[in-house]
Structure 1
Amino acid sequence: MVRQIFSLRLRQILLCKTSLKLSIVLLLFQGVCFKGNAQEANVADQPNIIFILTDDQRWSALGYAGNDLVHTPTMDDLATHGLYFKNAMVTTPICAASRATILTGVYERTHRYDFQTSGIREEFMQSSYPRELNKAGYYTGFYGKFGVLYDGMEELFDEVESYDRNGRYKDYRGYYYKTLDGDTVHLTRYTGQKALDFIDQAPKDKPFCLSLSFSAPHAHDGAPKQYFWQKESDHLLADVTIPDPELRGDTYFDRLPKAVREGFNRTRWYWRYDTPDKYQHSVKGYYRMIAGVDREISSIREKLKETGQDQNTVIIVMGDNGYFQGERQLAGKWLMYDNSVRVPLIIYDPRNPRHRDIDQMAMNIDVPSTILDFAGAPMPKEWQGKSLVPFLTADAYDMERDTALIEHLWDFEHIPPSEGLRTEHWKYMRYINDKSIEELYNTTEDPGETNNLASAPGQFIRLQEFRNWMNQKDSEYKDPYVGHPSGLKVDLGFLPGTKKLERFFSWVVPKGAGTQKSYQILVSDSEQNLKLNIGELWNSGEVTSTEHSGIIYEGDALESGTTYYWKVRIWDDLHRLSRYSNIHSFQ
């Protein structure tokens, strides 16, 4: 390109009649050449990037974090020579929404993607980090659990293969169904080999970004044994008895809200931890599977060294959510406790070997911004995270994040949705379908989150501040497309063909929703209850229907002359849940 410009400028010089014109043209030529060299230098400075995401690896499942039971020498080495974020968290403790946040750079209450959503909105994916990397000149690859329904997945990356545990098999074959050279191998080994092949075959004239999403150490749900590891890990913990979990007494379980005690967190505890034998097998299996991932990372580092790319490849390691290992007699994730939201996060940059243990609250929403910063690419204006690269380049860097938003908004009968805020010393959480259920912890004095101060004397002002902050976050990060229903009306009329008077509810579906697929109506005799999402007179639950007018009231009996309050929310054509409408009254 520079040679073509040079030839064009030379022809222009030969046609010039005066020295003035000649001088101007030479200046133009010099400017073009300098610009071209600067672009080439930027490309040369772009590192390769490998982003490794594990499934269900909690923050403490790492040797560097002080865990003597887990075998992670490679991850520990990356942490020892890189950045280790001691208080890293995910915005949403579940794989689907967490991965959607990493892809799009926005919170769940913005992208509104969950397990029941039929696809993530294209508007969010247009500025996903793989697309932004392509614009920056990167060759991109993805292998493993994508975790987000998106028809354009194969267009996001230059090389891509999406796979996860095979749910058709309720035994070890859920992890052993992929083959290499005709032999069936564990998914961890398969993903590791795909990474080695990618490094070997990636073009040498441009930087690459390889995203690896391991299924391990996720349990294979539905299988009696739950955990399946490679034989290379058999010897690990073979002669060790795993200590009992913390907070294992009935007291801690009994304090939980009824919806949690009766939900999936408890169901999966029965699958994995309800007997001593199950507990020993599951915890050992969990750690052995993490050791398998660590071995693959070691092989990847050896391949980088073999190909001469080890000094120009940034490695980022993170878990997609935390995990309960029997604490509070629970399993799984989904809740706002530290077990569920805290994850390991390591950033290793061989070009800047600065080791630091970071106390500040980094989050998964920061990963895409960090990747683009390493690539020298601008962050899309709609992204809501922050780059972590300055921790490598500045002696003292402040993220200016004094409050972290955490949330699990999927409205599913077996997992109560909840939301919370974390500061340096405090955590506040509440359950969305009944906001009167609140928890407040001083995490400095009570890191186990066992002493709920929500009703303690002297905490009212702090509690009210957290409530206000939570409402502000809801407004700040609201979905920009769907909105909420409006034009609420309640009409009194006779049922067709009868003389029975009924109340008929109607609303206007927000334009951004496309077609309404479902709705939920709440009715209360208290405006305050409705603000807490308590519809004690009528909670319709999710009703699958496109109808949004003439909906017959089906709640408790209403009294003449009494004022009542109601609101409604809808699920859109992708089954994304809208915010509730404003509260309206009727008599």
Structure 2
Amino acid sequence: MEHNLTPHKLLFCLLLLMSFSAFAQHKKPNIIFILTDDQRWDALGFAGNTLIQTPEMDKLAAEGTYFENAFVTTPICAASRASLITGLYERTHGYTFGQGDLKEVYAANSYPAKLREAGYFTGFYGKFGIQYPDFSSFFDEGENYDRNGKFNDRRGYFFKTIDKDTVHLTRYTSQQAIDFIGNAPGDKPFMLSLSFSAPHAHDPAELQYFWSAAYDTMYQNLVIPEPLLQENKYFEAQPAYVRTGENRTRWHWRYDTPEKYQHSVKGYYRMISEVDAEIGNIRKALEEKGLADNTVIILMGDNGYFLGERQLAGKWLMYDNSLRVPLIVYDPRQAGGVINPAFALNIDVPATIMDYAGVTPPKTWQGTSLRSRQLAKRKDFLTEHLWQVDIIAPSEAIRTEQWKYFRYINDPSHEELYDLRADPLETNNLAKDPAHQATLKKLREKMEK
């Protein structure tokens, strides 16, 4: 049978094909990845915290998938953020503070680079946290900014302006997101990364935490309960280099008096609540542009945080306070209300983003899509903090469903072993218990491999 297409029919077919192709591309979901700075896993109402007010995050968790066992593979912002864009462990990508630029081979295989290659319109606003000379190669639009350390007062946060009005970085980042959504091209999906600086303290400042004036009265009449494990015995159990290290130094900045402790925890909560409110504004912008039903939202913290436990502050160590983070994946196209108990890691986020975008991730990546059935097969994982600096002892750990084994890299003779089922707060170190030497040896050998 012959098919004779006139020029008009041929043009119509070509236009139809182009329209179908554009429609298919446009139906790929938009993706927003929201990263908070120092938000620990239980600084979230949905996680059971009855003090903090996070209605928007709770709504995302209730309508999406909440990963109740989410962890970072390195508990410090620089290395964790590098893992979040490369899908690799720190000992693979080699990036942390003081190590120079992120290596080009890993940058080229990062999720923002791959999504841009695949036709996504990409954006980033906030704290990038990775030293790399060609930030603009990752994103069609973006701005990399963080706390301004030149000042020891609120200017460390309030240094951005919107219409000549000086605002908190949280408000500024949200407005950048709203503008990006409003101006995003209609013929391709977008991938927007938002990296809020909150609730990170402004370290040089005496008051540490700063928030918008509208949040001054939030938590004002609340008395924050004292931290767990605050007794001297838990502090004294630490090796000398931890007792005199940065975790202790920052405890003095934030928690060493009842007044400082109340101020700091309330400030930390206020900053998270402010991010929470701006998430609501961003979702409203998606609704107004008709994009809400096709936009996946992923929310995560970049590392855990000590709030005075063991008389310590900061992160960096191998206890769950430092490692465990909130992680939520909300897909409006899927039924929500799912609580996933599997181990979920920061290195899984890039693979998840690629999965949603329909793009094959590089074979060298070490994470697994959070949508994959393979996730449930993960029974253990490695976590590490490899930065060689005097004030923070580098360390590494293996965590299974029942056990955690960790050691300090420069002092391998100091080992800690915890039965997490019997001792979830990690208070009874079994490393020298004769009854647990087989477990210790097995995990030590696994670490060596």
TM normalised by structure 1 equals: 0.73
Counterpart for residue 189 of structure 2:
207
User: Can you give the 5+ residue segments of structure 2 that lack an aligned partner in the other structure?
Assistant: none
Q: 1:249 and 1:306, CA in 2 relative to 1: closer, same or farther beyond 3 A?
A: same
Report what 1:56 is aligned to.
38
Measure how far apart 1:444 and its partner are.
1.1
Say if 2:173 is the partner of 1:191.
yes
Instruction: Give me the CA root mean square deviation.
Output: 2.0
| Contact kept? 1:129, 1:372, Cα under 8 Å | yes
Alpha-carbon separation, structure 2, partners of 1:466 and 1:174: 44
Question: Aligned residue for 2:438?
Answer: 461
Which residues in structure 2 correspond to 1:335-354 (within 5 Å)?
Answer: 335-354=317-336
Asked whether 1:404 is paired with 2:381, we answer yes
**Secondary structure, counterpart of 2:342 in structure 1:** coil
Map 1:223-302 onto structure 2 (within 5 A): 223-302=205-284
Does residue 45 (structure 1) correspond to residue 27 (structure 2)? The answer is yes
CA–CA separation in structure 2 for the residues paired with 1:132 and 1:315: 19
Preserved contact between residue 63 and residue 73 of structure 1 (Cα < 8 Å)? yes
2:365 to 380, 383, 389: 383
Question: Match for 1:179: what amino acid?
Answer: T
Deviation digits for residues 319-372 of structure 1, max 9, x if unmatched?
Answer: 000000000000000001000000000000001122211111101000000000
d(CA) in 2 for partners of 1:404, 1:231 = 42
Query: Contact (CA 8 Å) 1:386, 1:399: kept in 2 or not?
Result: no
Question: Structure 1: how far apart are the matches of 2:219 and 2:22?
Answer: 51
Tell whether 2:161 aligns with 1:179: yes
Letter in 2 for 1:399: A
How big is each residue's C-alpha offset from its partner over 1:236-290, in whole Å with a ceiling of 9 and x where there is no partner? 1111111100000000000011111010000000000001100000000000000
State the partner residue of 2:83: 101
Q: Is it true that 1:313 corresponds to 2:295 in the alignment?
A: yes
What corresponds to 1:87 in structure 2?
69
2:350 corresponding residue in structure 1: 368
Instruction: Return the alpha-carbon distance in structure 2 between the equivalents of residues 88 and 291 of structure 1.
Output: 21
Deviations 1:453-473 (A, max 9, x none): 11112211111111111112x
Aligned counterpart in structure 2 of residue 117 of structure 1, from 84, 88, 99:
99
Distance 1:387 1:398, change over 3 A: closer
* 2:150 equivalent in structure 1: 168
1:513 matched residue in structure 2? none
- Range with greater deviation from structure 2 (355-364 or 54-63): 355-364
CA deviation profile, 1:12-56 (whole Å, cap 9, x unmatched): xxxxxxxxxxxxxxxxxx9x9999788556413310000000000
CA distance in 2, matches of 1:246, 1:390: 36
Check the 8 A contact 2:343/2:375 in 1, yes or no.
Answer: no
Match 1:72 to one of 35, 51, 54: 54
CA contact (8 A) 2:22 2:187 kept: no
CA distance in 1, matches of 2:251, 2:285: 40
The change in CA–CA distance for 1:204 and 1:39 in structure 2 (over 3 A counts) is closer
Q: Percent identity?
A: 58
Counterpart residue type for residue 138 of structure 1: Y
- 1:156 aligns to what? 138
Give 3-state SS (helix, strand or coil) of 2:377's partner: coil
Partner of 2:112: 130
- Stretch moving more, 346-355 or 178-187: 346-355
Q: C-alpha offsets along residues 198-245 of structure 1, whole Å, 9 cap, x if unaligned?
A: 000110110001000000000000100000011221221111111100
Q: How many Å separate the matches in 1 of 2:163 and 2:19?
A: 45
Deviation sequence 1:495-520 (CA, Å, 0-9, x none)? xxxxxxxxxxxxxxxxxxxxxxxxxx
Question: Closer, same or farther in 2 for the Cα pair 1:35/1:411, shift >3 Å?
Answer: farther
CA separation of 1:454 and 1:196: change in aligned 2, threshold 3 A: same
1:441 to 418, 435, 438: 418
Deviating above 6 A after TM superposition, structure 1's stretches of 4 or more consecutive aligned residues are 32-38
**CA–CA separation in structure 2 for the residues paired with 1:220 and 1:405:** 30
Larger RCO (alpha carbons 8 Å, 6+ apart)? 2
CA shift at 1:10, angstroms? 7.3
> Equivalents in 2 of 1:55, 1:193: separation in Å?
18
- Number of the residue aligned with 1:19: none
CA distance in 2, matches of 1:74, 1:333: 26
> Which SS does the other structure have where 1:458 is aligned?
helix
SS at match of 1:370: helix
Give yes or no for contact 1:83–1:357 (8 Å, CA) kept in 2. Answer: yes
1:181–1:404 distance in 2 versus 1, CA, 3 Å: same
**Compared with structure 1, are the counterparts of its residues 262 and 6 closer, same or farther at alpha carbon in structure 2 (3 Å cutoff)?**
farther
Are the aligned partners of 1:187 and 1:215 in contact in 2 as well (CA < 8 Å)?
A: yes
Q: Which deviations, in whole Å up to 9, do the C-alpha atoms of 1:373-406 show, x marking residues without a partner?
A: 0000001111100001247xxxxx7532111111
2:400 alignment partner in structure 1: 423
Cα distance in 2 for residues equivalent to 1:194 and 1:91:
29
